[in-house]
Amino acid sequence: MKKYSLSIRPFGVHAVLIEWPEKVEEAILNDILAFIAHLRENCLKEGNWELVPAYNSLTLVLRYDTIDFDTFKEQLEIWYAEKKDTVGVQNYLWRFPVCYDSVFGIDLEEVAYTLKITVAELIKKHTTHVYTVYGIGFLPGFMYLGGLPKELEIPRRATPRLKVLKGAVGLAGKQTGVYPEESPGGWNILGHCSVPIFDPKKETPCLVKVGDKVQFYAISKAEYDLHKIEAEVGIYQMEKIKIDA
């Protein structure tokens, strides 16, 4: 793996921002993840650090103390040079069940019409592609998914809805994703994911992590209802497949 030239900048007194070249690229994301693994294992064990990756950046946040930027920047450069290329973290492909029934897929017809394909083709395309998680943020459990095929790109709705349901699966611009909680939103809604991606009652509230992959698959309304019950009583197991490094 090649070494990138990094831009390291202060972000207040408790944080430092590291930027890779400004591109959405798996190679860059993997380099960031390898650096996180190296920092976690060998460098930042002490103290209260949060490491936040997103697309081409990594932000390091220290909870209480202030960072001496110049010293820390030099240290980071050394650590980056030392980093091994292998990512020490197991990544998964998550398969999310989505009910594309018209009860949930309130914009399916309109999106299919705009993209000049049938609803069945739209669902097939949306479920065929594998998306990469480039970041989690905005709301708890909201995944920034990359890898949407060009033929599914469609503008946001002209007027955002005041209320989009928790679990709604949407499409907008170069993005697709799942609303982790009820919120206002302007995405085109294709369906509804039957199981929660973020559950604050669990010790690990969000199973998906940056670098994982996501694929949607279509389920019937009956399966959707069953999943809902299984998730409520806590026996639903999210489907995941190991990805070889």
Partner 1 sequence: MLKVLKSGFYTTIQDTGRFGLRDKGVPISGIMDMETVSKLNALLENKEDAAVLEITMTGPTLEFEEDTFITLGGAEFSITLNNEPIDGFTVIKIKAGDILSYGRLKKGFRGYLAIKGGFKSDKVLNSRSYYPSINPKGIIKDRALIPYEKTDTFKPKLSEMKVDDLLDENILQVGKGPEFMLLSDKQLEYLFFKEFTVANENNRMAYQLNEELSGHKVSMLTSATLPGTVQFTPSGKLIILMKDGQTTGGYPRILQLTDKAISILAQKKAGDTIKFKLI
Give the interface with partner 1 as residue ranges (CB under 8 A).
Answer: 9-15, 17, 19, 22, 24, 48, 50-57, 59, 61, 63, 135-142, 144, 180-181, 198, 200-201, 205-206, 209-210
Which amino acid is present at 74?
E
Give the pair of three-digit tokens for residue 66: 């202030």
Count of residues in the chain:
245
Among residues 135 and 191, whose Cβ is nearest to partner 1?
135
**Residue 22 vs 151, nearer CB to partner 1:** 22
- Cβ 227 vs Cβ 217: under 8 Å: no
Nearer to partner 1, 33 or 108 (CB): 33
Least gap, CB of 187 to partner 1 (angstroms): 15
CB 176 within 8 A of CB 169: yes
Closer Cβ to partner 1, 61 or 117, answer by number? 61
- Give the shortest CB-184-to-partner 1 separation in angstroms: 13
- Minimal distance, residue 13 CB to partner 1, in Å: 7
CB of residue 77 to partner 1, shortest distance in Å: 18
CA gap 234, 166 in Å, rounded: 18
Q: Distance (Å, rounded) from C-alpha 43 to C-alpha 45?
A: 6
Residue (169 or 219) nearer to partner 1, CB: 169
For residues 238 and 94, is the Cβ–Cβ distance under 8 A?
A: yes
C-alpha–C-alpha distance, residues 30 and 38, integer Å: 12
CB of 236 to partner 1, least distance (A): 19
By C-alpha distance, which of 75, 73, 82, 55 is closest to 8?
A: 73
Tell me whether residue 55 or residue 92 sits nearer to partner 1 (CB atom). 55
Report the distance separating Cα 39 and Cα 30, nearest Å: 14
Q: CA–CA separation, 14 vs 3, rounded Å?
A: 26
Shortest separation between residue 89's beta carbon and partner 1, angstroms? 12
Measured from the CB of residue 80, what is the shortest distance to partner 1 in angstroms?
A: 18
49 or 79: CB nearest partner 1? 49
* d(C-alpha 234, C-alpha 141), whole Å: 18
